[in-house]
Structure 1
Amino acid sequence: MTTIAGQLSVEQNLTPSEKKKIIFLMCSVLLFSVMNGTMFMIAVPDIANSFSLLPSQVSWVVTGYIIIYAIGALMYGKLADIYPLKTLLTIGLSLFVAGSILGFLSPTFLMVVFSRMIQAAGASSIVALAFIVPSKYFPEERGRVLGIVSSTMAFASGVGPVIGGLVSGALNWQFLFLISTFVLITIPFFRMWMPEEDKKEGKVDILGAVFIAIAVASLILFITMFTWWYIVISFVFFGLFSWRIFNSENPFINPELFQNAPYRTTIIAGFFAIMTMFGMMFMMPLMLSEVSGLSTLFIGLTLFPGAMAAAFMGKWAGVLTDKQGSGKVVYIAFTLMITGFFLLSSFVGSSPLVISIVIIISYIAFPFIQTATANLISTVLPKNEIGVGMGIYNLFNFMSGAFGGAIIGKMLDYESGVKLNPISFAQGHEVVYSNVFIGLVALTILNGCFFYLAFKRHESDQLALGNVFSHR
């Protein structure tokens, strides 16, 4: 068992050099994990041509990956409350590399999809544990480290499409698999530099894990394919999961976790915030292709400055979170989102250079909202629930991304003759894009009001809130 003294040695007695090594390692593998998803989105048309597939068929390269990635983030979060992070990362990175090698050698499309799922099973450990490591090993500088994590994710999201386009164009889409094999180099260093930990008390409820995995997978399939019986299956297994957590001695998720009002509020507000951000990111390539007529490579280059700005600002989002508290940084993120969405609505139809400059404001909001909500969750949860709490947080993030893309995609199918933004430059079909951005502004305002009122109602519970809204 892990003693209190043992916990203190892990959490507080790391030297500055050891901390830097761990942060460097985590960010290095996180870069490949996130980039792996965005690279293949660019390569989907090439994969379809290679195997003569319909769009509905080739979409499994992305859909299969998202399903396993989302479920894996939850599972690794739960396992992190019991097993050493070093062990989980070793298993995850090994699966990531195995899937990458198998994908490069895959002769059939079925093997490509299977390889992507193995990749996801490993890559999900990285993103899950990247949000747990700061709370576990850097409790006094958690916000700063979370800011670095968010910066890395923003950078990877921006550079992924560019690298995907270059590699697919110069070589072949299969070589995208080889890029991810470089994480193999980090495994020995994780074994050397990560702190030694003992297995903690507890066990995983396998039946509960199966129920929630099927429920989540069915829901994502419904979101991406709009087949009604998937939502029926999802509701059934969510019901079974709810029954299980109230009737098991060791539930996969303690139902009391959702009775934590600050945690519940943060999860809901974070879900809608990330949904609008991913909705914007989903819509931008479509708009730049349809309205501006840009190629895949130039779309990536247009969005690149925004991603780089987000990567640069992530560090400052973390510093600000540590100094001012998570709550204030959430409001800053909402303000940036509202401003950015409104400007995008106004400048739809302008030159790609103008769009590239304007979108920077929206992109900057991403590390602010992600850093602040992740830090807030780690603040309001007890240490023995941070793993599963972060796992649920990551699951909701991935679900929100799927929801955002699906909803935006449907909205763009409809023409609009009414311009909701009177100062917009949009004309003709461009108006629908302008109106959707105004919709994102309205949703963000409502989300900000919900966050404020919910915490206002619970602010008397100082034990739960800690110093969320105050200086450290």
Structure 2
Amino acid sequence: MTSTGNADPRRWRALWICLVAGFMTLLDVSIVNVALPSMEHGIGATPADVSWVVSGYALTFGLALVPAGRLGDDYGRKRMFLLGLLLFVATSVLCGAAPGATWLVVARLCQGIAGGLLNPQVIGMIQQLFTGRERGKAFGLFGATVGLSTAVGPLLGGLLIQGIGMEQGWRYVFYVNLPIGLLAIAFGMRLLPHDERRGPRRSPDLLGTLLLGLAVVSVMLPLVEAEESTSTPRWWLMGVGAALLVLFVLWERRLGARGKHPLVNLKLLTVRSYSAGALLGMVYFAGFTGIFLVMTLFFQQGLGYSPLEAGCSLLAFAIGSAISPAIGGRIVHRFGRPLVVSGIVLVVLGLGATALLVGEYDGANAAFVLAGPLFVAGFGSGFVIAPNQTLALEEVPPAEGGTAAGVLQTGQRVGAAIGTALGGSLFFGQLTRSHGDYHSSAAHGLVGSVVLVGVALLVGLADVVMSARRRKPASPRPVVRGTVVGAPAAVTLTSLRTNRSQRAEVGEDGRFELPVEPGEYLVLASVPGREPAVRQVRVADGPVTADFAFEREVRLSGVVTGPAGPVPFARVEVLGPDGAARHTAVADEAGRYRVEGLPPGEYTVVAAGYAPTASPVRIEGRRTRHDPVFSGSR
């Protein structure tokens, strides 16, 4: 539980902008599947071409996630969000206007980079805008977005092709992003929170970015090739990827030990909730994503459904995955990881029943027969994706939210590539062995998904057991904890019942934690020279989160000049709105001065050395330059 007294009043409207953008990027993973025959018909694309249209997007999407998360954390999430959204809209138009297959593949690769740039900012924004139970609700809505985008893609793609035609219909699968994206950009510029840099500017970890990028490509490229019928997968690249990943970890540890800023803060992996959530998410996505390829092939090629009919046949899963995330987001803080485990159990039961019916039932109205178990699987999935995301990021500082989200989603993209490759391999392998039995082939593909989801269930159960053992030695005590970003701070906690106070200095990572008894408290975060921030919280029998964000400090600098040029050793005073002196500096022999540690705002700068000069200055951004000019004489 947490107070939201200092929360951004526009946070829910900003969330909807983030969800629209996230929906577009994830929709493009699945919507293209039903448009592949239209592409082959419209521009003469080969099977290898259309395979790269699907897999290339997933490859570059996964490649961009972690660097994009770091860019958002360091240079501003709003800036990176709008840039990614603009690039995504532009590349969507390029895809739709493609005159040939090569153009389309290249544009699709660029679109994947844009989607990878955009998506970590969505989760980082949720971390930044929401705390406590509200964060769970926000992630619940994000989980519904993930489930809907994956399941609705084939339906929407089929609808567009059915309405526009096989020749040109595939182009509008991409053009549909244009009006939505432009509206999201317009509202995002107004409603998204302004970027506030936290701490000094970081030098980019170029070598770490290169090592991780090569590792991701080396792991995912054989999986992409496995989906093509025209090439032999180079599985040896998996070993290269593993070696590069080891080098990446060693390099990141070295940077951290030397006090520099690595691409990924490896301390995140020591947070058990985060590492367990990342592993569970990767394995679950390996099972979850593969079912859409298998079921689309089964309905279209096996049963002769049109693209629209195939999309409608998966609607039950979409409905289930749209209902449950909102419920899960509200109760995840009460039940924790057991909620995720219960969701995985439902997915296993639903997919298991689907596999059984697909293999055994060969009567009419197969889509209606399969709707029940697909709904159960979709409903369970909504209890997995969003709650797991919430629990994984619960102990991650908001300042690291974008990078942490990038690592999580990279694992999910790798898992999705594994699941899709495995599902396709099982499906087509059995199709060859059975001489065209689509029922047994789809059943084999679904069984592979069930096995992978079962592995995710084991990961979740192991985490529940470890959590229970960890809690046994010490009796749980309620605590008030959180993060303070923007400046070094001290936190004071005062009981409203006893008026007793306790104080703690915030650590280097911005975190604090204070043990308390149940009751109501005032939490005061104070920074020297700043207006303190206060929140009132109610503590029951569990942890309470109170996060604070202070505006970053700005440097004011310039050169004091007069009629004869720079004025050495001039005295410069910075006055606040109340006329009181906030800072004083003396220029050097070249007239240069510098004042550190000013919060953004309106000031008056007074320079003395000739006839004094005073001028109003608005201080903002990371640095502000102001050059006082004397016009008189000494």
1:46 aligns with 2:38: yes
* 2:383 corresponds to 1:373: no
Q: Aligned with 2:282: secondary structure?
A: helix
One-letter amino acid of the counterpart of residue 242, structure 2: F
Structure 1 pair 132/116, CA: closer, same or farther in 2 (3 Å)?
same
CA distance in 2, matches of 1:214, 1:441: 28
Q: Distance in 2 between matches of 1:191 and 1:325?
A: 37
Q: CA deviation at 1:431?
A: 5.6
Q: Which runs of 5+ in 1 are unaligned?
A: 1-7, 417-425
- Calculate the TM-score normalised by the size of structure 1: 0.87
What does residue 81 of structure 1 align with? 73
SS in 1 for 2:32: helix
CA distance, structure 1, for counterparts of residue 261 and residue 87 of structure 2: 28
1-structure distance, mates of 2:409, 2:443: 34
Instruction: Kindly provide the amino acid, as one letter, of the partner of residue 62 in structure 1.
Output: V
Alignment-derived partner of residue 51 in structure 2 = 59
Three-state SS of the structure 1 residue aligned to 2:262 is: coil
Structure with the higher strand share, 1 or 2: 2
Q: How far is 1:251 from its partner?
A: 1.4
How far apart in 1 are the matches of 2:313 and 2:4?
43
- d(CA) in 2 for partners of 1:107 and 1:391? 33
Mapped pair 1:394 → 2:409: yes
> Which amino acid is the alignment partner of residue 243 of structure 1?
L
Q: Which residue of 2 aligns with 1:143?
A: 136
Deviations 1:207-252 (A, max 9, x none): 2111111210221111121213432442343233223212223211
2:151 is equivalent to residue 158 of structure 1: yes
Amino acid at match of 1:345: A
Relative to the length of structure 2, the TM-score reads 0.66
Letter in 2 for 1:328: P
Give the aligned residue type for 1:221. Answer: L
Q: Which has the higher contact order (CA 8 A, sep 6+)?
A: 1
Counterpart in 2 of 1:342? Answer: 352
2:33–2:154 CA contact under 8 A, matched in 1 = yes
Provide the C-alpha distance between the structure 1 equivalents of 2:24 and 2:123, rounded to a whole number of angstroms.
Answer: 16
Contact 2:287–2:451 (8 Å) recurs in 1:
no
Matches within 5 A, 1:169-208: 169-171=162-164, 172=168, 173-182=170-179, 183-200=181-198, 201=200, 202-208=202-208
Deviates more, 1:405-414 or 1:107-116: 405-414
Instruction: Please give the secondary structure, in 1, of the residue aligned with 2:203.
Output: coil
Who is 2:122 aligned against?
Answer: 130
Q: Could you report, residue by residue, the CA deviation over 1:81-113 in whole angstroms, capped at 9, with x for unpaired residues?
A: 212221111110111111122223222222212
CA contact (8 A) 1:337 1:444 kept: no
Question: What CA distance in whole angstroms lies between the structure 2 residues aligned with 1:245 and 1:114?
Answer: 32
In 1, distance between residues paired with 2:464 and 2:395? 16
CA apart distance, 1:274: 2.1
Q: Residue 452 in 1 paired to residue 464 in 2? A: yes
- 3-state DSSP class of the match of 1:158? helix
Q: 1:3-402 counterparts in 2 under 5 A?
A: 12-15=6-9, 18-140=10-132, 141-171=134-164, 172=168, 173-182=170-179, 183-200=181-198, 201=200, 202-225=202-225, 226-248=233-255, 249-289=260-300, 291-322=302-333, 324-348=334-358, 349-350=360-361, 351-402=366-417
The Cα of 1:300 is off from its aligned counterpart by 0.7
- What amino acid is aligned across from residue 118 of structure 2 in structure 1? I
Q: Indicate conservation of the 8 Å contact 1:338/1:444, yes or no.
A: no
Give the equivalent residue in structure 2 for 1:419. none
For the residues of structure 1 that align with 2:82 and 2:76, how far apart are their CA atoms? Answer: 10
Cα deviation digits, residues 178-229 of structure 1 (max 9, x gap) = 1111202221321111122322333330221111112102211111212134
1:458 shift after superposition: 4.1
Q: Distance in 1 between matches of 2:444 and 2:125?
A: 42
How much identity, in percent, do the aligned residues show? 21
**CA 1:471/1:291 → structure 2, altered by over 3 Å: closer, same or farther?**
farther
Q: Name the amino acid aligned to 1:129.
A: Q
Query: What amino acid is aligned across from residue 281 of structure 2 in structure 1?
Result: G
Does the CA-based 8 Å contact 2:284-2:452 persist in structure 1?
no
Task: Tell me which moved more, 290-299 or 399-408.
Answer: 290-299
Alpha-carbon distance in structure 2 between the residues aligned to 1:283 and 1:39: 15
Q: How far apart are residue 428 of structure 1 and its match?
A: 5.8
Q: 1:11 to 1:245 in 2, by over 3 A?
A: farther
Is the Cα–Cα contact under 8 Å of residues 282 and 411 in structure 2 kept in the other structure? yes
Q: State the Cα distance separating 1:433 from its structure 2 match.
A: 5.2
Larger Cα-atom Rg: 2
> What is the SS of the residue equivalent to 1:32?
helix
Q: CA deviation at 1:147?
A: 0.6
1:331 partner letter: V
Q: Which moved more, 1:217-226 or 1:75-84?
A: 75-84
SS across alignment from 2:176: helix
Find the aligned partners of 1:93 and 1:224 in 2 and give their Cα distance. 26
Deviation, 1:440, is 4.8
Q: How does 1:395-414 map to 2 (within 5 A)?
A: 395-414=410-429
| CA-based RMSD | 3.0
SS of the residue 1:146 aligns to: helix
Summarize the Cα distance change of 1:396–1:427 in structure 2 as closer, same or farther, 3 Å threshold. closer
SS in 2 for 1:37: helix
Determine which structure has the larger helix proportion and give its number: 1
Q: Deviations over 1:139-194 (max 9, x none)?
A: 13101011111112222223221221222343311222211112022213211111
Give the C-alpha shift of residue 125 in structure 1: 3.4
Q: Which moved more, 1:203-212 or 1:248-257?
A: 248-257
Cα 1:344–1:242 change in 2 (3 A) is: same
Does the 8 A contact of 2:203 with 2:261 survive in 1?
yes
Q: Give the conservation status (yes or no) of the 8 Å contact 1:153–1:311.
A: no
Whichever residue aligns with residue 444 of structure 2, its letter is: V
Alignment check: 8 A CA contact 1:218 1:230 kept: yes
How far apart in 1 are the matches of 2:440 and 2:385? Answer: 35
What secondary structure does 2:391 align onto?
A: helix
Aligned partners of 2:291 and 2:446 also within 8 Å: no
Q: Work out the CA distance in 2 between the residues paired with 1:203 and 1:55.
A: 43
Counterpart residue type for residue 97 of structure 2: L
Distance 2:411 2:41 in 1: 33
Q: Is the 8 A contact 1:261 1:458 kept in 2?
A: no
Q: Report the Cα offset of residue 303 of structure 1.
A: 0.3
